[in-house]
Amino acid sequence: MAAWKVLLIAVLGLSCLGLALATLIVPMTLTAGSERWMWLGGLFAGTVCLTTLFILFLRKASVAMR
């Protein structure tokens, strides 16, 4: 496997983990009412989008290795 693929997998994995943790931590620490839900929605949408891209990339890389 090429080195850039390994680095991309590491970056995508850490980004997904960071967004998932931020989705849990940021809304709990903010004190404003409606702003909390906007942060939660935005971070959750970002987490879902990035995780979907990560899964699609892993599937493509897996098929290419066969």
| pLDDT tens for each residue of 10-32 | 999 999 999 999 999 988 887 67
- What is the per-residue pLDDT for 1? 63
* pLDDT tier, 63 (very low <50, low <70, confident <90, very high otherwise): confident
Number of domains in the chain: 1
pTM of this structure: 0.82
* Closest by Cα among 49, 53, 44, 47 to 8: 53
Give the residue numbers spanning the domain of 42.
Answer: 3-65
| DSSP category for residue 30 | -
